[in-house]
Amino acid sequence: MAAIRKLLIANRGEIACRVMATAREMGIKTVAVYSDADQDARHVRLADEAVRLGPGAASESYLKVENVIAAALSTGADAIHPGYGFLSENAGFADAIEDAGLIFVGPPADAIRAMGSKSASKSLMEKAGVPLVPGYHGSKQDTKTLSTVAEDIGFPVLVKASAGGGGKGMRVVRKKADLKDAIEGAKREAQSSFGDPKLMIEKYLAKARHVEVQVFGDTHGNYVHLFERDCSLQRRHQKVIEEAPAPGMTEKLRQAMGEAAVNAARAVDYVGAGTVEFLLSGRDFYFIEMNTRLQVEHPVTEAITGQDLVRWQLLVASGGELPVKQDDLSISGHAFEARLYAEDPDKGYLPQTGTLSHLKFADTPGVRIDTGIEEGDSVSVHYDPMIAKIIVHGADRDDALSKLQAALSKTHIAGIETNLDFLLGVSSDETFVKAKVDTGWLDRMKPPSLGWRRVTPADETSLAIAALAVINERGVAAQARAARSGDPHSPWFRTDGWRLIDRGHQDVFLRDIIDDEPLLVTAKARAGHCYDLIVGEERVAGQVLDDGGVIIDGVRMNVDVAHTGDRLTVFHDDGRCVFLLFDPADVSADEVDSGGDLTAPMPGKVTHVHVKAGAKVKRGESLLVLEAMKMEHTIAAPADGTVTELRCKAGEQVEDGVPLVIFEPA
């Protein structure tokens, strides 16, 4: 097979950028594809060429097989890398690539089919001697059959999409009363995410760990495993922080799991990168599924082995042999990966959309950032809301964990809510530090118990820094106006607070977001960008430096301040202070009380409406289901009461904040 000279990446975001980085190192030209929502995205900017696929919705762009193939052919690409998600585990896509005379950087279509159905893969693994979790993987899919099977297995059970992954179409059911809704909801989500509503039922193993093994095969019959990753820290079956190697792993257990994973790959004549996932309960492990693609968390494996898995993929896809044998591989140190998402923990982790007006990552040794987003980019409603993966490598687990916490602390974001504070709280929690986490631990916790919120009350230093930032921005804006005016020396463009009958001063009015107290900082200008600041009852000397730093009372500080709209965020070592900039002469109308309105927490599509106007409902009862960012979100009754009016219907697309249900509490 010929070497790959030009590669099209049929994906977006951080994985597209990640693949491009290795391709560039190998001298391979890259082609990006994009939707209308991604026309200015980072992966488009990084590629040698880029081709539009269609509108923003993935179903009209990234999931259009014929459009992707056409883009590859029109640009003269030799091969297509699918990344993960989208078409990466679509056997029809792999067939179409081969039919077009192109190279698919992934496993054979037959292997994807064999492992794509969780139920069929269970049968294959049983024949290969890989241990399985007790469950049902049959063809009868009516709710009555699935309910009967679940009751026979015994609660709790796991209802999961046969064709899926990533926690979509998956529900833990702890009692019979919740079973029907869980089955129907999982079917809808499975159909929406994977185009296949088929489900399977498994015994839910409480307090088990999720440990997966990275495997690789080539077309010459060679197979290796690259050890294991622990992905037990999950929220609603979505991985949050992954690590490698797995804590507490013995060499005997590591060898057994590695051999089982390789046997699984051999059973389907696997080629390329794959991941075999297991549940680990005590010293017993059970096969969950095989992901026939590169995993989101592959960087931790790269960190502890010193290997580039994308390079391996491209070598194998070109017909080459694996570059190493099993005995050549060893583990060096420890690695963590934290997934940074645009989501609001205060609102049930609902995905967020908007512009990242301020984004700075830690730039320190041992830290790797995989991202498809830069400052000023937007998070779209159409796709997964991941911002970045923060990866660290250390000499051992304690060293790596310290680096992870430092890297998270030095990550500064403004303009959109994220789970950054949550990641810091989790990674600092004693249970996680001691590696006592299981797959259900995070869902049993409540965010406040983790101490994750890092917005701190205002102090004199932060107020002074915020005021200096505002004054400096005013000065820059005034200079720009003066340059455009034709009279740049006019006193009306001075920025020192000059007045005819007053020693020059400026007032900066702020509100601390925590207690909403109005705060005044008065600044009197001196020479050299120096100011005498009056902050409450305190007097502070401040100076703005040309390099962006400040001096407060003789102490030089490299500060980071984000100004978005009327909000100023001052970042510091222990978190951040957040202020609202306001004009005391601007009296805004009081907010209108929404009464009993239940509004859309995000833009999305109403998939099901469970009630009618006039219905009497109980607290917690499902009123409707909203689908957004490939996940279902239930809008439930906040109390016992009456649905007085419905303002939406099934199939309708709604915007963030619009009233969906008018509700009257009892």
Instruction: Measure the CA–CA gap between 88 and 574, rounded to whole angstroms.
Output: 41
Looking at the chain, the domain(s) classified CATH 3.30.1490.20 span 134-203
Condensed to tens digits (0 to 9), the pLDDT of residues 504-515 reads: 688 999 999 998
Looking at the chain, the domain(s) classified CATH 3.30.470.20 span 209-450
Instruction: Measure the CA–CA gap between 278 and 169, rounded to whole angstroms.
Output: 19
pTM, full prediction: 0.82
Pick the CATH number of 460-581 from 3.40.50, 1.10.10, 3.30.700, 2.60.40: 3.30.700
CATH number belonging to domain 6-105: 3.40.50.20
Non-local (6+) Cβ contacts of 412 within 8 A are 358, 359, 360, 560, 562, 569, 571, 576
- Considering the segment(s) 134-203 as one domain, its CATH architecture is 2-Layer Sandwich (3.30)
Looking at the chain, the domain(s) classified CATH 2.40.50.100 span 597-665
Looking at the chain, the domain(s) classified CATH 3.30.700 span 460-581
Q: What average pLDDT does this structure show over 403-408? A: 97
Q: What confidence score (pLDDT) does residue 348 get?
A: 81
Q: Which of 242-251, 567-576, 598-607 has the lowest mean pLDDT?
A: 598-607
Instruction: Measure the CA–CA gap between 15 and 17, rounded to whole angstroms.
Output: 5
CATH number belonging to domain 209-450: 3.30.470.20
Helix (DSSP H) and strand (DSSP E) numbers for the chain: 17, 40
Yes or no: say if 47 and 30 are a contact pair by the CB < 8 Å rule: yes
Residues belonging to the active site: 293
Condensed to tens digits (0 to 9), the pLDDT of residues 79-124 reads: 999 999 999 999 999 999 999 999 999 999 999 999 987 777 888 8
Residue 561 tokens, joined: 């301040």
Q: What confidence score (pLDDT) does residue 595 get?
A: 45
Res. 499 pLDDT band, cuts 50 70 90: very low
Helix (H, G, I), strand (E, B) or coil at 319: coil
Torsion over CA: 340, 345, 350, 353 (sign): negative
Q: What confidence score (pLDDT) does residue 446 get?
A: 73
b (16+ CB within 10 A) / e for 372-408: bbeeebbbbbbbbbbbbbbbbbbeebeebbebbbebb
Given a cut of 70, whether residue 658 has pLDDT beyond it is yes
Condensed to tens digits (0 to 9), the pLDDT of residues 137-170 reads: 788 999 999 999 899 888 999 998 888 666 778 8
Helix (H, G, I), strand (E, B) or coil at 199: strand
Looking at the chain, the domain(s) classified CATH 3.40.50.20 span 6-105
Outline where DSSP puts E strands in 71-222.
79-81, 103-104, 135-136, 157-161, 170-173, 199-203, 209-217
With respect to CATH, is domain 597-665 assigned 1.10.3720.10? no
